[in-house]
Amino acid sequence: MKIEKYNFGEIVINGKNYRSDLIILNDRIIENWRRKEGHCLSIDDLKGILNKEIEIIIIGTGYSGFMEVPDKVLKDIEKLGINVIVEKTKDAVELFNEYVKKNKKVVFALHLTC
């Protein structure tokens, strides 16, 4: 997967335009990703995607970084042996593309707006 472009509320991946929050996995994209508490991430919001095959999860907190990622969520992910990176979505996009080039097993959960 390659992210070609990101702007507030819009992302282009492999030539396809998306306008809702996403989770990008190695083999697929989960569209219309919603969190139980809107702008606050919980571990339940990531159920079903966290497994031992993942090396890194990148969390894009939005254009201005308004999505919260509580310390407990970070600790719960790290307990699974997965490295966690939390950045504003624009910076997270660049990191994701770098890790993909390095053939890392990376998941990207991203908030497109705020």
Which residue type does 106 have?
A: V
List pLDDT tens digits, range 73-113. 999 999 999 999 999 999 999 999 999 999 999 999 999 99
Domain count across the chain: 1
Q: What residues make up the domain containing 105?
A: 3-110
Report which of 110, 106, 103 is spatially closest to residue 12, judged by C-alpha positions: 110
* CATH code for the domain of 40: 3.40.1230.10
> To which residue do tokens 């979505």 refer?
89
Q: 3-state DSSP call for residue 22?
A: strand
C-beta of residue 15 within 8 angstroms of C-beta of residue 26: no
List pLDDT tens digits, range 39-81. 999 999 998 899 889 999 999 999 999 999 999 999 999 999 9
C-beta of residue 3 within 8 angstroms of C-beta of residue 12: yes
- Residue 41: per-residue pLDDT: 98
Distance, CA of 9 to CA of 22 (rounded, Å) = 11
